[in-house]
């Protein structure tokens, strides 16, 4: 059992309401004290009530609503900017009650415990991910990278990794390989040996495919008659319907990643931020 941990949730809220009970159960099961921090985009119709309600019974140290910046509204720059905004608050708390670990993750990620594996200490000056990747970069080359939706480290590593915001998104090859490259450039080791835990990125379709997020993360109790396919296989109309059902803001899935998008990023979308 860990003594004191920080959980940084950065990014769009997306499926947070679906994930929240699973996330709280996981973190409470591994540490005596858990401090939560959330840094999300100040989007045109941000459902702040979701944050107030879901964090009502836990220790939310700081919540930030970060204004849109076109340069950073990307899979590389967005997480870096949102973490950068929250890091001073984590640092101040760390000085008073030092954190054993910092979990640098997202609202739409559900962590879960591998029960039969004991919690083992992590190494100093090491950045951990739940899995490595092997994806094509912008040049068409395959590179080993780090999944960036669940990063775990001691505070000094988390703090230093926020400096990646100085690299423009246009200068990156692919965000997962750049995370690994940047970590090594700072002199950190990288590892995926968190054998006592794992995490999945949930999508809005899970709400109609499983009785609970717990069932989704452990891959059990899938509804026999599936009303909706997996998110990546849904039509745009089905995706929009699922967002409406769960009061998820459409802008949360406006992205140039066609596998998950309801709309591509465009000047029309950007104007929504400037006119909100």
Question: pLDDT tens, 133-180?
Answer: 998 888 888 989 999 999 999 999 999 999 999 999 889 989 999 999
Note whether 60 and 171 are same-domain residues: yes
What pLDDT does 29 receive?
Answer: 95
User: Cα-flanking dihedrals φ and ψ of residue 66, to 5°?
Assistant: -95, 130
**Confidence (pLDDT) at 138:** 82
Provide the token pair at 89: 């608050």
Mean pLDDT of 25-36: 97
For 98-138, how does the pLDDT look when each residue is reduced to its tens digit (9 = 90+)?
999 999 999 999 999 998 999 988 999 999 999 999 988 88
In three-state secondary structure terms, 274 is helix
Q: Do residues 164 and 62 both lie within one domain?
A: yes
| Residue percentage of the chain with pLDDT more than 70 | 99
Range of the domain at 215: 203-274
CA distance 226 to 230: 9
Are 48 and 161 in the same domain?
yes
Indicate whether 183 and 238 sit together in one domain: no
Q: What residues have CB less than 8 Å from 30, skipping those under 6 apart?
A: 1, 2, 5, 113, 119, 197
- Give the strand pairing for 126-129 and 189-191: parallel
Of the residues 144, 167, 199, which one is the last residue of a structural domain? 199
Residue 263 DSSP symbol: B
Count of helices and strands (H, E) across the chain: 8, 11
Mean pLDDT of 57-61: 96
Instruction: Assess whether 128 and 166 both reside in one domain.
Output: yes
16 and 118 inside one domain: yes
| Domain final position from 156, 180, 199 | 199
**pLDDT band of 21, cuts 50, 70, 90:** very high
| Confidence bin at 250 (pLDDT 50/70/90) | very high
Query: What sign results for the dihedral spanned by CA atoms 19, 10, 97, 3?
Result: positive
Residues 196-209, mean pLDDT to the nearest whole number: 96
**Residues 210, 112 share a domain:** no
Domains identified in the chain, total number: 2
185 and 229 both lie in a single domain: no
Give the three-state DSSP class for 66: strand
| pLDDT at residue 182 greater than cutoff 80 | yes
Q: Do 245 and 269 fall into the same domain?
A: yes
CA 275 to chain centre: 27
Backbone angles phi, psi at 115, to 5 degrees: -60, -40
Residue 56's pLDDT is 95
SS3 for 188?
coil
**Where does a domain end: 199, 219, 249?**
199
| pLDDT higher than threshold 90 for residue 268 | no
According to the model, what pLDDT value does residue 166 have? Answer: 93
Does the pLDDT of residue 60 top 90, yes or no? yes
What is the per-residue pLDDT across 215-245, written as a single tens digit (0 to 9) for each?
Answer: 999 999 999 888 899 999 999 999 999 999 9
Query: Is the domain of 121 the same as that of 237?
Result: no
Helix, strand, coil percentages for the chain (3-state, nearest 5): 40, 25, 40
User: Could you tell me if 229 and 191 lie in one domain?
Assistant: no
Question: Do residue 212 and residue 195 come from a single domain?
Answer: no
> Any idea what DSSP says for residue 246?
T
Which CATH number is 10's domain given? 3.90.550
Q: What is the rounded CA–CA span in Å between residue 207 and residue 242? A: 8
Q: Confidence band (pLDDT; 50, 70, 90) for 276?
A: low
């Amino acid at each position: 059992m860990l003594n004191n941990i920080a959980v940084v949730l950065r990014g769009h809220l997306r499926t947070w309401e679906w994930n929240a009970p699973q996330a709280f159960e996981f973190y409470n099961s591994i540490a005596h004290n858990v401090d939560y921090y959330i840094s999300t985009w100040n989007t045109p119709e941000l459902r702040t009530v979701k944050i107030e309600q879901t964090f009502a019974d836990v220790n939310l140290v700081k919540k930030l609503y970060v204004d849109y910046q076109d340069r950073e509204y990307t899979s590389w720059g967005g997480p870096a900017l949102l973490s950068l905004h929250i890091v001073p608050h984590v640092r101040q708390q760390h000085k008073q009650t030092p954190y054993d670990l910092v979990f640098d993750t997202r609202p739409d990620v559900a962590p879960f415990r591998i029960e039969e594996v004991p919690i083992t200490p992590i190494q100093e000056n090491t950045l951990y991910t739940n899995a490595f990747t092997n994806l094509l970069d912008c040049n068409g080359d395959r590179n080993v990278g780090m999944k960036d939706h669940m990063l775990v480290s001691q505070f000094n590593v988390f703090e230093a990794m926020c400096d990646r915001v100085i690299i423009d998104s246009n200068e990156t090859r692919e965000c997962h390989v750049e995370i690994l490259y940047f970590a090594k450039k700072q002199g950190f080791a990288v590892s995926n040996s968190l054998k006592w835990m794992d995490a999945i990125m949930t999508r809005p379709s899970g709400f109609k495919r499983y009785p609970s997020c717990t069932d989704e993360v452990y891959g059990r109790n899938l509804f026999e008659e599936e009303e909706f396919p997996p998110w990546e296989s849904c039509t745009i109309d089905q995706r929009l319907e699922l967002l409406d059902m769960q009061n998820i803001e459409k802008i949360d899935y406006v992205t140039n990643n066609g596998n998950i998008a309801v709309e591509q990023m465009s000047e029309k979308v950007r104007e929504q931020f400037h006119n909100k």
